[in-house]
Structure 1
Amino acid sequence: MTVPIIIAAVIVAYLIGSIPTAIWFGRVYYGIDVREHGSGNPGATNTFRVLGKKAGTIVMLIDIVKGLSATSLATLLMILNVLPEHNLVTFKLIFGVTAVLGHIFPVFLSFKGGKGVATLLGMMLSIHYEVALICVGIFLVILIFSKYVSLGSILGTLAFPTLLLFVPRFKTSEPILVIFGFCLFIVVLWTHHKNIKRIVDGEENKTYLIKPKK
């Protein structure tokens, strides 16, 4: 009975991640498909650019909740005695990664989705909220000074395994978390490879969290 339940949970995690928040929100409340504007990416960053801060914030928060809720399915299964406690982190990783993959390859959008950073953040919050919040801080600092969301996302992701590995307060007894963190960094690099090229070429769109004074 346990295996079918876990398989069902994986499917649910994928479907949660696949919810195309930016597309549905833009169409319902603005009559706009964000894929037809800005960078064409169906994610929170492009929603900020196309629909503004309010819409972008709502989409981002929903995408974070997607990752948080999908990852927390492991906690629910543990409470229901489907999973043993010593396997909790492993299954949080499985469900969380599945949700992120759902966001990147959503069944509702012919498997062409966003970059999954907000959903990834929700996953990290469920696994280790302290380190995740520091990563958010690093992301914001880099965004404010560089104006590049992509650069903030890449370095914020790299900070997760780095903090777990080198900062005594956050050192983990779960080596799989560190390995996962660096693998995740590679994935984020891959999903942002076009952004990296545009940054190098000086063509990347800038996002002003704090508007410059005129």
Structure 2
Amino acid sequence: MIKIVFTLILAYLIGSIPAGLWIGQIFYKKNLREYGSGNTGTTNTFRVLGKKAGIITFIFDFFKGTFATLLPLFLHINGISPLVFGLLAVLGHTFPIFAEFKGGKAVATSAGVILGFSPTFFTYLAIIFFSCLYLTSMISFSSVTAATSAILGVVFFHYLAFYCRVTMCFLP
């Protein structure tokens, strides 16, 4: 039980690492919270610091979600869903203890959580996100569309899987 509690705290702390904020402060001498949207996440890093810093921040934010989701696998923890660890990383990104509880919107971190939990579902959502981004050139709209698709996908794929199993029972 103590191992689970410490790992849950670790997942939150991993999510709390404000990569964009620290990159801005260390390499660009800028506080992201004073520019653009004021968020410390990937999108504002791209806007304020540029492509290179944005890509590095995206990679870091994305994989901290994936890593936190995979923590129970790495540490042989059973009985609790990996999504709980991922959710704590998302909460850490949104309300980071290392940045006065003012973080980003956790889009990249959430995508990383989905990759860690279900690579197939991640691929489905990535296709939707990038198709929407290609058509509209709007990251925020693409993110909302992918998030909505995720919710609908969870609901409909669940029922689709159930009906497929029922149908398979009647096949010879």
TM range (shorter): 0.7 to 0.9
Instruction: Map residues 33-182 of structure 1 onto 2, 5 A cutoff.
Output: 33-78=31-76, 82-83=77-78, 87=79, 90-167=80-157, 171=161
Shift of 1:167: 4.8
Count residues in correspondence. Answer: 161
Worse-matched range after superposition: 127-136 or 141-150? 141-150
1:150–1:171 CA distance, 2 compared to 1 (3 A) = farther
1:164 and 1:39 map into 2 onto residues whose CA distance is 31
SS of the residue aligned with 2:75? helix
1:171 and 1:32 map into 2 onto residues whose CA distance is 49
2:166 match: none
2:19 match: 21
Q: Is the 8 A contact 1:164 1:171 kept in 2?
A: no
Q: Is the 8 A contact 2:71 2:82 kept in 1?
A: yes
Tell which has more relative contact order, 1 or 2 (C-alpha 8 A, sep 6+).
2
Q: What is the TM-score of this pair, normalised by structure 2?
A: 0.86
Equivalent residue letter for 2:3: I
Equivalent residue letter for 2:88: T
2:20 and 2:120 map into 1 onto residues whose CA distance is 27
Shift of 1:106: 0.5
Q: Provide structure 2 residue ranges, at least 5 long, that are not aligned to the other structure.
A: 163-172
1:137 and 1:60 map into 2 onto residues whose CA distance is 17
1:194 match: none
Q: Is the 8 A contact 1:104 1:113 kept in 2?
A: yes
1:6 match: 4
CA deviations over 1:57-87 (Å, ceiling 9, x no partner): 1100100111011110111233xxx42xxx4
Shift of 1:98: 0.5
Q: What is the TM-score of this pair, normalised by structure 1?
A: 0.70
CA deviations over 1:159-205 (Å, ceiling 9, x no partner): 2232344358x848xxxxxxxxxxxxxxxxxxxxxxxxxxxxxxxxx
Identity %: 42
1:18 and 1:44 map into 2 onto residues whose CA distance is 14
Q: Is the 8 A contact 1:165 1:171 kept in 2?
A: no
1:12 and 1:132 map into 2 onto residues whose CA distance is 24
